[in-house]
Amino acid sequence: MDKLGMLIGEFIQHCAEDRHYSPATCQAYESDLRRFARFMAKAHPDVVPAEIGSAHVRDFVTSLRGLKASTKCRKLNCLSCFFGYLVDRERVADNPVSEVERPRVARPLPVWVPPEEIQVLESVTRGARERAVLLTFVLTGVRRGELIRANIGDLDHELTSLRVDGKGNKERIVPIPAALREALVAYLRLRPRVDCPALFLNREHRRLGGRSLQRMMKRWLRDAGLSDRGYTIHSLRHSFATLLVRNNVDLRTVQELLGHSGISSTARYLHADLRSKTEAVEKLEGVLQVAVADTDEEAASDIVERVLVDCTT
């Protein structure tokens, strides 16, 4: 399977140089593809890349015992991108992954930070830089990597918008609201004048990195007494999206602000917004003029409990 290994190397180089994927994404792709190559070398040593079919891919998925369905799907998506690349370059005739059914993945609802807890996080930030970092996450919905890649030159001169270098080198413009503008001005006044173009610098006056952000978020949660909530930096992006949906911003606009390639990713925030759905359904009472009698909540709870007992005995 030396030929397969060579093709994998070409594909990873293509991802880095032509598709501008992040080093982390390229590393994950290479790890998944090397695992597939080792499987093929052991299970089907005589099969050349052009002969790899859907049956071989299904065998590979079967070999991934103990892995979560989401992990298997990620590996299949990686293989699909790889074979799609080979099809485009006429190295193979068909993409064998296209006929392989993906395992069903239960997508959890997004974990987001409510406004009152965001305010607590803001209160424990240390200095203008940390406050500007937090509010950039909360008020623009950028991903961690997008904030890290942001440069001073991505801000417009009036500090009304930020150009974001998103996934797959897709660029988008996000507006900067007044609260964030004030926080950025306070930070930029104190930012050292150095050659580094990064918007946010670390203590060594170099580009702020992922580990520094993780430590920052961990400390905010600890100082705010929120360490047990399961929040991450990405939860701040979920808060941005959820609060937009709750305030009746249309999904297409939310999709553009988040940089989602498909509306299905954005639609998750509709499912997370049970309160809005409840309020929407309750509007039917007025439209249909259904009479609503006062119901004692304690009595209602007793009735539900009794029915549940009857159903289980």
Q: Is residue 122 part of a domain?
A: yes
Residue with tokens 């190295």: 91
- State the pLDDT at residue 143: 95
Domain boundary (49, 65, 99) is at 99
Domain count, the chain: 2
Amino acid identity of residue 36, one-letter, is: F
Residue 258 exposed, middle or buried by CB count within 10 Å (0-12, 13-18, 19+): buried
Residues 71 and 144 reside in one and the same domain: no
- State the pLDDT at residue 269: 82
Q: Is residue 10 part of a domain?
A: yes
Q: Is residue 308 part of a domain?
A: no
pLDDT tens digits, one per residue of 119-147: 999 999 999 999 999 999 999 999 999 99
- State the pLDDT at residue 170: 86
Residues 74 and 128 reside in one and the same domain: no
Cα angle 24, 30, 36 (rounded to 5 degrees) comes to 140
DSSP letter assigned to residue 187: H
Residues 140 and 51 reside in one and the same domain: no
Q: Which residue has the higher pLDDT, 42 or 170?
A: 42
Residues 121 and 267 reside in one and the same domain: yes
- pLDDT of 3 above 70: yes
Catalytic residue among 129, 238, 260, 268: 260
CATH code of the domain in which 184 resides: 1.10.443.10
Residue range 4-10: average pLDDT?
94
Reply yes or no on whether 56 is catalytic: no
Catalytic residue among 129, 237, 238, 268: 237
Q: Is residue 89 part of a domain?
A: yes
CB 68 within 8 A of CB 106: no
Q: Is residue 291 part of a domain?
A: no
Distance CA 213, CA 134 (A): 10
CA distances (Å), 95 to each of 37, 39, 45, 178, in order?
16, 18, 20, 49
Domain boundary (56, 75, 99) is at 99
- pLDDT of 163 above 80: yes
Residues 46 and 180 reside in one and the same domain: no
Catalytic residue among 29, 85, 231, 269: 269
- Which of the four pLDDT bands, split at 50, 70 and 90, describes residue 283? low
CB 74 within 8 A of CB 67: no
Catalytic residue among 167, 181, 218, 246: 167
Q: Is residue 312 part of a domain?
A: no
Catalytic residue among 234, 238, 268, 277: 234
Average pLDDT, the chain: 88
Consecutive H or E run containing 122: helix 115-123
Reply yes or no on whether 271 is catalytic: no
CATH code of the domain in which 7 resides: 1.10.150.130
Reply yes or no on whether 29 is catalytic: no
- State the pLDDT at residue 235: 96
Reply yes or no on whether 167 is catalytic: yes
Residues 22 and 124 reside in one and the same domain: no
- pLDDT of 287 above 80: no
Residues 38 and 131 reside in one and the same domain: no
- State the pLDDT at residue 173: 95
HSE on the CB side for 223, CA within 13 Å?
15
Residue range 237-244: average pLDDT?
94
- State the pLDDT at residue 126: 96
Could you tell me the residue range of the domain that residue 62 belongs to?
A: 2-99
Residues 39 and 174 reside in one and the same domain: no
Catalytic residue among 131, 143, 191, 238: 143
Residues 145 and 250 reside in one and the same domain: yes
Residues 88 and 170 reside in one and the same domain: no
Residues 49 and 182 reside in one and the same domain: no
Residues 258 and 141 reside in one and the same domain: yes
